[in-house]
A and B are shown apart, each in its own frame.
Chain A
Amino acid sequence: SAVISQKPSRDICQRGTSLTIQCQVDSQVTMMFWYRQQPGQSLTLIATANQGSEATYESGFVIDKFPISRPNLTFSTLTVSNMSPEDSSIYLCSVEMEGGYTFGSGTRLTVV
């Protein structure tokens, strides 16, 4: 299975600022997925990122709030923009490999 490196692992940010989360995969993958896990909740898909095209966002998530870059087949970034305390969550990237979906270790974001 793929190995995913995600950083930062955690951050505490001021409201109104932005944070960019990076996800690096050790093999080339067509699609990368970004999830949010709010405190005590399960995972919710934010968007699907394909290399060379615009990300596809799920209902309730918009590009202005969560811009995504996918410059090559092993790397993606998710930015959480103009943060508010409601954005405090764990953000995870994921890829599909043979035998299932692998997740990064997550970025624990606290907005104060």
Chain B
Amino acid sequence: QKEVEQDPGPLSVPEGAIVSLNCTYSNSAFQYFMWYRQYSRKGPELLMYTYSSGNKEDGRFTAQVDKSSKYISLFIRDSQPSDSATYLCAMNAGNMLTFGGGTRLMVKP
């Protein structure tokens, strides 16, 4: 079993939809949780960085962490075709980042 599980998708939604991306993890030592967006042929771009359980909002993005369930989510409101990318969750205990496998999102006009 992988330490971080993420549905690979692809997830296809119409423009304007609310997107929900999720990861589950098994290591209770993970303390910091991140979401990255990666466009094809580019490096990962940090979207959200959270520590505690609860919600964190930044524009159209909301990150949610539930440490008791070992479950994190990223919500994208009013999704746009430019949001089409692979979304990676990542988490760490100490200096080592552990990534999920990534979910490919396609937002259709």
Residues of A within 8 A of B (CB): 1, 6, 31, 33, 41-43, 45, 48, 92, 94, 96, 99-106, 108
Q: Please list the 9 inter-chain residue pairs (A to B) with the smallest Cβ-Cβ separation, ordered nearest first.
A: A100-B49, A103-B43, A42-B99, A105-B43, A106-B43, A100-B46, A42-B101, A43-B99, A103-B44
Residues of B within 8 A of A (CB): 32, 34, 36, 41-46, 49, 88, 90, 95-97, 99-102
Q: Which residues of B contact A31 (CB under 8 A)?
A: 95
Bound: A106/B44 CA distance, A: 9
CB pair A108 B99 closer than 8 Å? no
Bound: A96/B42 CA distance, A: 19
- Looking at chain B's contact residues, the main secondary structure is strand
Q: Which residue of A lies closest to B46 (CB)?
A: A100
Bound: A102/B43 CA distance, A: 9
Q: Which residues of B contact A108 (CB under 8 A)?
A: 41
Q: Which residues of A contact B95 (CB under 8 A)?
A: 31, 33, 48, 96
Q: Which residues of A contact B97 (CB under 8 A)?
A: 33, 43, 45, 94, 101
Q: Which residues of A contact B32 (CB under 8 A)?
A: 100
Residue in B36, B41, B46, B99 whose CB lies within 8 Å of A1? B46
CB distance from A39 to the nearest CB of B (A): 12
Q: Which residue of A lies closest to B6 (CB)?
A: A42
CB pair A42 B100 closer than 8 Å? yes
